[in-house]
Amino acid sequence: MTPLPDAFDQALAQLLGDGWRTDTTALQAHAQDNSWRHALPLGVALPSSAEQVQAIVRLCRNHAVPLVGRGAGTGTTGAAVPSAGGIVLSFARMNRILDIRAGDRCAVVQPGVLNGDLQQALQPHGLFWPPDPSSADICSIGGNLACNAGGPRAVKYGTSRDNVLGLVAVTGTGELIRCGGAYTKDATGYDLTHLIVGSEGTLALIVEATLKLSPRPRSQAGLRVLYRDAEAAAAAVSRVMAQPVTPTTLEFMDARSLQLLRHNGAQVPEAGAMLLIDAEGDDDTLPYLLNALAEAAEGDGMLALDVASDGSARDKLWAARRALSPALKTIAPGKINEDVVVPVSRIPALVEGVQRLSAEAGLPIVTFGHAGNGNLHVNILYHPDDASENARAHAALPKVFALTLALGGTLSGEHGIGVAKRDFMSQAFSADTLSTMWAIKQALDPDGILNPGKVLPPV
C-alpha cells in the first residue's frame, strides 16, 4: 500500500495534534466494522469541528487520499472499512448534543452522539428519537443517518430518513452545505437532506443533524399471536396494516426461529409462525387500540393470541425476540445476516423460498424481522472453518437476493449496501438508474475520495 505523502502527514499532525493517529493500536481499532471485514487504514483522523472536517477533506482531495467516515463501527455491510486504503475520519470527538428544542420537537446534534445517550438526554423532556436499531445503545447518530437505520419502531415512525429535518455536511470538495432545518414542511429546492441520508458517506460527511423528535407514549401494551404457517401470519400482517390503528412494532418469526428458541429453553409454543405486535397510547385510548389490533390479527390460521397489558408482561413477550439473535450462535458460529425487503403480501413466498434454499445448501437459514415493513432478516448459519459449509453459505447468498428481487423486493431495509451488497446493485437497478446515481456521486465527490468502492458497483 502506498504510504501517505510526508506533506499530508505533517499537515494533519499540525491541524489535529493528538487527533491524528498513525500508531498500530489506532489503525487496528478502525480497521473493521461489525461485518468483520478487515483492512488497515494508513491513518485515523479525529476532528472536533466542522472546519477541521473541511480541512481534512480538502487535504485528501489534494493528495488523492481515500477517506472513509466512521461512527461507532456497528454497521454490518463493511461500509466503514477502509478497503481502498487511505484514512479513516472518526467522528468520536464530535459527540455533543448542541441543542434540544422541545417546543419545536427537534434536537441538533453532532454525528458522534450515541443513540442511547441522546435518548437519555431527551427523557426529561418527554421526547425520544424513534430509530431503534438493535445496537441503539452504542451506535452513533451519524452512522444511523449514513445507512438509514431503522429498527422495530419503523413500522409506525419510519426510518432515520423519516426522522431528520436538516443536515450540515461536507462534500467531497470540502464545501460545507446546509439543507433543511427546524421545520417539518419544506418545498424549497432539491431535497438534499434525504439524498445524503442513506448514502453511507459516499456523497458527503454529515457534521451536524437536526432530528425530528416524537412525544414519549404514556402507555404501551403488546400481543403475541401464533399462526399455523407463514402464509396465515402474512395475511394477518396485511389486515393489521390495512386498518386505521398503526402498531408501534410488528415483528415476524418463522417456524425455525420458534424451534430455535424452544431448543434454547424459551417458553414459546409450537407454531408455524409468530407475530409480536405493540401498541401505544394513553390510559383511555390504549384498550381500544389494542382491541382493534387483536381483531385484525384474528383470522384463518391463527392458533392463539396472548395480551400483555403491563410492562413486565410485555417484557416477557419480547424476551423471545431479544433472545433470538444470541440463540443463532448455538447453531453455528458463522452468520450471514441480510435484511431484505419484500411487499408484505410476498412474505410467505420469501419464507418458503428461503427454506428451499436452506434445503439445497444443507444449512440452517432462520428468518425473522420487521413484518410491518416487509423487512426480514435472513440469517444463513455455517461453520467458517468448514470449507464446504463456507462455500455453500456464500453460494446461497446471491440466491437469497435473486429471490427477493424476483418477488418485487429490494436489497436492504436498514443495514445499507456497503461492500457486502454492492455487486448486486446492478441486478436491483437498471443501467440508466445506476448511471444517474453515479452522476450524483460525481457532482458531490468529483474525485471519488469519499468511501470509494462502496454502494455503487464499478462502471
Q: For each of the chain's 459 residues, which pLDDT tens digit applies?
A: 688 999 999 999 999 999 999 999 999 999 999 988 999 999 999 999 999 999 999 999 999 999 999 999 999 999 999 999 999 999 999 999 999 999 999 999 999 999 999 999 999 999 999 999 989 999 999 999 999 999 999 999 999 999 999 999 999 999 999 999 999 999 999 999 999 999 999 999 999 999 999 999 999 999 999 999 999 999 999 999 999 999 999 999 999 999 999 988 888 899 999 999 999 999 899 999 999 999 999 999 999 999 998 777 788 878 888 888 888 988 999 999 999 999 998 999 999 999 999 999 999 999 999 999 999 999 999 999 999 999 999 999 999 999 999 999 999 999 999 999 999 999 999 999 999 999 999 999 999 999 999 999 998
Q: What is the pTM of this model?
A: 0.95
Q: What residues does each domain of the chain span?
A: 6-90, 97-215, 217-330, 331-435
Question: What DSSP designation does 41 have?
Answer: -
Output the pLDDT for position 265. Answer: 84
Query: Residue 307 has which C-alpha cell?
Result: 395480551
Report the C-alpha gap between 365 and 260 in whole angstroms: 11
Sheet holding 20-21, edge to edge: 20-21, 43-45, 87-90, 67-70
> Among candidates 365, 395, 400, which has minimal Cα distance to 380?
365
User: Which amino acid is located at 13 in the chain?
Assistant: A
Output the pLDDT for position 1. Answer: 67
Same fold for the pair 97-215 and 331-435: no
Output the pLDDT for position 427. Answer: 97
Query: Residue 316 has which C-alpha cell?
Result: 416477557
Cβ contact 144:174 at 8 Å = no
Please tell me the class of the 331-435 domain: alpha beta
Please tell me the class of the 6-90 domain: alpha beta
Radius of gyration of the chain (CA): 23
Give the 3-state secondary structure of residue 407: coil
- The CATH number of domain 97-215, selected from 3.20.20.370, 3.40.50.300, 3.30.465.10, 3.40.50.261: 3.30.465.10
Contacts of 240 (CB under 8 A, 6+ apart): 247, 250, 277, 293, 296, 297, 372
Find cell 460545507 and name the residue: 176
Burial class (CB in 10 A: 0-12, 13-18, 19+), 205: buried
- The CATH number of domain 217-330, selected from 3.40.50.970, 3.30.70.2190, 3.40.1390.30, 3.40.50.300: 3.30.70.2190
Number of helices (H), then strands (E), belonging to the chain: the values are: 15, 18
User: Which amino acid is located at 226 in the chain?
Assistant: L
Output the pLDDT for position 353. Answer: 96
Give the 3-state secondary structure of residue 72: coil
Cβ contact 112:92 at 8 Å = yes
The CA-CA-CA angle for residues 146, 60, 148, to 5°, reads: 5
- Any alpha helices (H) in 64-180, and if so which ranges? 115-122, 141-147, 154-157
Bridging pattern class, strands 365-370 and 219-227: unpaired
Give the 3-state secondary structure of residue 338: strand
453: left (phi over 0), alpha (psi -120 to 50) or beta: left
Describe the crossing of helices 387-406 and 347-361 by its angle, rounded to 10 degrees.
Answer: 160
- Ranges of beta strands (E only) in 27-140 are 43-45, 67-70, 87-90, 97-101, 106-109, 127-128
